[in-house]
Structure 1
Amino acid sequence: MTGSVSMFRSLLVKGRAMYAKIGDRLVVHSAHVDEPDRDAEILEVQSADGSPPYLVRWSDNGHTALIFPGADAHVEHFGSAPPAE
């Protein structure tokens, strides 16, 4: 199990490690031209360093889900800076 967790913590998106904090927005880009992108508010961050997974609430239907974002996703930060490395 530890190997799986470290794999997700080192997840790189566009050359940068993904991190988030509560209140940030997760945007998942559609894989199909005729479908809109989806976005969700981040409700919980499961790790201290801000890496996935995230508990989110989808804006289009209000459902909550625990998600490990893929390369088709990015986090929009609101007034936050990346954690110091």
Structure 2
Amino acid sequence: MHAKPGDWLIVEIAGTDNAARRARILEVSSPDGAPPFRVQWLDTDREGLVFPGPDAHVMTQDELAALDTRMVERVDAVQRHITQRRAAP
């Protein structure tokens, strides 16, 4: 896993109803971008040093924005489908 400051660390939370945790990578300790990373967690605004596990991955800002757009489009499509089914006789 390699990152640069400004990338996002995404930690998937398997087996729960919680969404994945997101942290903005503020600093990378090694010249090649390997962990540990100093991050700021989006949900708590707290900073910390992280050694990511196998449930984590790094995304660029553009990749995360594209993912968020796809998720919004998916939710919108489901809501339209539900609305259309309710309106059907």
TM-score, normalisation: structure 2:
0.66
Gaps of 5+ in 2: 63-89
* Counterpart amino acid of residue 21 in structure 2: R
Q: Is 1:44 the counterpart of 2:27 in the alignment?
A: yes
In structure 2, C-alpha distance between the alignment counterparts of 1:52 and 1:34, rounded to whole Å: 28
Asked which structure has the greater RCO (Cα within 8 Å, sep 6+), the reply is 1
Q: What percentage of aligned pairs have identical amino acids?
A: 50
Give a deviation string over 1:49-70, Cα, whole Å, max 9, x none: 0000000000001000100001
Provide the alpha-carbon RMSD of the alignment. Answer: 1.2
Query: How many pairs were matched up?
Result: 62
Q: TM-score, normalised by structure 1?
A: 0.69
Bigger Rg, which one: 2
Structure 1's consecutive aligned runs of 4 or more residues displaced over 2 angstroms after TM superposition are none
Residue of structure 1 aligned with 2:41, choices 37, 58, 69: 58
Name structure 1 gaps, 5 residues minimum: 1-17, 80-85
Counterpart of 2:35 in structure 1: which amino acid? P
Q: Which has the higher strand share?
A: 1
1:24 — aligned with what? 7
